[in-house]
Structure 1
Amino acid sequence: MTKPTLSLNFSDIKLINGTELNNSTMRTSISDFIVVYFALAIALLGLVGNGLVLWVLFFRLRKTPFTVYILNLAVADFLLLLISMVVLLCIVCGLWIQIEENLTITGFLLTAVYYAGLLILTAISVERCLSLIFPFWYRCKRPKYQSSLASAIFWVVSILLTCMEYFGCNDEEYRKSDLKCDVIIISISTLILLVFSPAMVLSSLILFIKIWTKTWRRHSSTLYIVILVTVVIFILFTLPPRILSLLMYLDIVHVQNFFVMYTWALFCNVVNSAANPFVYFFVGSMGKQGVGRSIQGVLQKVFKEDSDISQEAAQEIETSEIKM
């Protein structure tokens, strides 16, 4: 039996010593399936929401550096929800054996889109922070196709990281805790927990502080609230599973029921991917200008600030330099 590689974030947690999935690790209860049904309902809503975002961004809004990132993030979320929904339907229909047989395939795809979403969200946070700190660079020196090029690179890197994680060590090397496996898994976990996530959080915090203290009265904070809420949801629903998966790999925490771990991991990732379009809509509906607007109007209110805010920041710095 090949090692199952679906983890709490679809990458790290594998059954130890080749334990069969039909033994005690697969005991289920009604409460376990309640999580599955909730995840299925949320996945369906998320597919509809991300589908609407994709439609509006593709056909109704002018492309900006920010909307290109959001478009790629919506694609990653849509794919993750679609694959998750297939897995959840198999569970509901009692077709777990089919999932087991294709665990590497589904796990690979889910992990790849998870990494893509992580990288894109990090880029959104960092770049929006830089647009306020260095507004002239953002408006005048920033390469025109940077968002498109960066997004393409993120997808390639995501696939490479997933290949490394899934095919970097075989079953025997994993069971023996081979040094190569340790290096791969710990290195990728370090990138996520100590590089990408802190960069995302720190840039979002700087973004919030700068807007609150410098330009709060100058323009709406809708765009920044969207970024902050999206980052908070990502941290709350994806980092704890990742940390737990690493602890399980290091044998600090032990898996007693693989099915429960699997479904809760799926649930957390589904919630994270489904939440984004609803964040855009509800935050964009805040205030008098958002009340009664169509979905297109609400999204336009959020995303049009991409150029407006950077222009205001640049003008503000230019005015201060003239005065000096």
Structure 2
Amino acid sequence: MTKPTLSLNCTDIEMINDTELNNSTTTFSTSEFIVVYFSMLITLFGLVGNGLVLWFLSFHFKKTPFTVYVLNLAVADFLLLLISKVVFLYIVCGAWKQISVGPSISLLLTVTYYAGLCILTAISVERCLSLTFPFWYRCKRPKYQSGITSAILWVVSILLTYIDIFGCNGTDYKNRELKCTVMIIGTSTLSLLIFSPAMVLSSLILFIKIWTKTWCQHSSKLYIVIVVTVIIFILFTTPPRLLSLLFYFNIIHVKNFFIVYTWSLFCSVINSAANPFVYFFVGSMGKQGVGVSIQGALQKVFKEDSDISQETAQDTEASEIKM
């Protein structure tokens, strides 16, 4: 059996066939097990944090364009953390070889990675547009754009997952066939040279806007959340993507598979678990300090979605009237 069976969070680092697996390093060092146990702890906190975000956004907060995106992002992060928890349990119990019989693990990890990538790109780009074209954002933006866009991005994530996992079989992957090379380079380019630069550029514009005189009088918690979230995403998802390319082109030898695997999944777990804590700590900033409740902190961040759009539209209309 040579069919690849596990792709790490869309890094294309796949399980190899049984013969190669038996000849590779199959034991973990103490440091690697420390990473695994630490990752399990992080996944627990991340599941609780994303669960709270899902609960409050679903039942306690008014739906806004931003919260619809955040709700979808929290779903993607929650699913990724949940599947990662299963993977780590397999490793700790010494049953990691059984992962090869669970293709759903590979599918869900890849779908949730792409969903997070696409949705976070949409968040940063749309908030940038809301500052650049505030009147359009307030008055001309379609009412259900966030929901429709999120649904489309989930479909795109599923299609990219199909390309990632079923684009080439195990034999073609092993032989480095042209179609596999094109697929891996294509998906890596999409992540590293299209989505990631779009997030970085939009976040840079948001960061500049935070510190300009025009916006210093406005509360900037929402923008800080977006910038910090994008920075964390870039820092902890770019290395796994680069590792996938190094692994495919044999720059990283197969005996290092489990080291690459655990550290890559560790990076993905940190990224998915961090977002709820970013929302809380940024929302807690201010006069009330750390005494603010979780719901209060989230409310202070997400409430700005409607407040800022109203203020920007009013400022634009006022400037147009003066002209």
TM-score class normalised by the smaller sequence = over 0.9
Q: How does 1:7-86 map to 2 (within 5 A)?
A: 7=7, 9-14=9-14, 20-86=20-86
Cα distance in 2, alignment partners of residues 68 and 211 from structure 1:
23
Cα distance in 2, alignment partners of residues 99 and 17 from structure 1:
13
Deviates more, 1:258-267 or 1:47-56: 258-267
Asked if residue 274 in structure 1 is aligned to residue 273 in structure 2, the reply is: yes
Deviates more, 1:218-227 or 1:32-41: 218-227
- Residue 248 (structure 1) aligns with: 247
Q: What is the Cα deviation at residue 308 of structure 1?
A: 1.1
Q: How does 1:282-301 map to 2 (within 5 A)?
A: 282-289=281-288, 291-301=290-300
Q: What is the Cα deviation at residue 52 of structure 1?
A: 0.4
Which amino acid is the alignment partner of residue 90 of structure 2? C
CA 161–315 in structure 1, closer or farther in 2 if over 3 Å, else same: same
Cα distance in 1, alignment partners of residues 159 and 298 from structure 2:
33
Show CA shifts across 1:164-186 (max 9, x none): 11111112222222221122111
CA 212–175 in structure 1, closer or farther in 2 if over 3 Å, else same: same
Q: What is the Cα deviation at residue 288 of structure 1?
A: 0.8
- Residue 161 (structure 1) aligns with: 160
- Residue 190 (structure 2) aligns with: 191
8 Å CA contact retained: 2:5, 2:14: yes
Q: What is the Cα deviation at residue 7 of structure 1?
A: 4.6
Query: SS of the counterpart of 2:181?
Result: helix
Show CA shifts across 1:261-283 (max 9, x none): 11111111111000000000011
Ranked by relative contact order (alpha carbons within 8 Å, sequence separation 6 or more), the top structure is 1
Show CA shifts across 1:92-122 (max 9, x none): 11111211332x3312210110000000000
- Residue 98 (structure 1) aligns with: 98
Show CA shifts across 1:177-215 (max 9, x none): 222112211111111100000000000101111231143
Cα distance in 1, alignment partners of residues 171 and 125 from structure 2:
40
8 Å CA contact retained: 1:5, 1:13: no
Cα distance in 2, alignment partners of residues 262 and 26 from structure 1:
12
Asked if residue 181 in structure 1 is aligned to residue 170 in structure 2, the reply is: no
Aligned length: 323
**TM-score, normalised by the number of residues in structure 1:** 0.95
8 Å CA contact retained: 1:54, 1:74: yes
**TM-score, normalised by the number of residues in structure 2:** 0.95
Query: SS of the counterpart of 2:28?
Result: coil
Deviates more, 1:50-59 or 1:208-217: 208-217
CA 23–175 in structure 1, closer or farther in 2 if over 3 Å, else same: closer
- Residue 148 (structure 2) aligns with: 149
Gaps of 5+ in 1: none
Cα distance in 2, alignment partners of residues 69 and 254 from structure 1:
39
8 Å CA contact retained: 1:9, 1:111: yes
Which amino acid is the alignment partner of residue 25 of structure 2? T
Cα distance in 1, alignment partners of residues 96 and 231 from structure 2:
33
- Residue 210 (structure 1) aligns with: 209
Cα distance in 2, alignment partners of residues 17 and 96 from structure 1:
14
8 Å CA contact retained: 2:7, 2:13: yes
Q: What is the Cα deviation at residue 311 of structure 1?
A: 1.6
Asked if residue 321 in structure 1 is aligned to residue 309 in structure 2, the reply is: no
Q: Percent same amino acid among aligned pairs? A: 75
Cα distance in 2, alignment partners of residues 84 and 8 from structure 1:
10
Q: What is the Cα deviation at residue 291 of structure 1?
A: 4.2
Q: What is the Cα deviation at residue 15 of structure 1?
A: 5.2
Cα distance in 1, alignment partners of residues 54 and 11 from structure 2:
27
Deviates more, 1:240-249 or 1:139-148: 240-249
Q: What is the Cα deviation at residue 11 of structure 1?
A: 3.7
Q: What is the Cα deviation at residue 70 of structure 1?
A: 0.2
8 Å CA contact retained: 1:43, 1:85: yes
* Root-mean-square deviation (Å): 1.7
8 Å CA contact retained: 2:4, 2:169: no
- Residue 311 (structure 1) aligns with: 310
Query: SS of the counterpart of 2:171?
Result: helix
CA 23–214 in structure 1, closer or farther in 2 if over 3 Å, else same: same
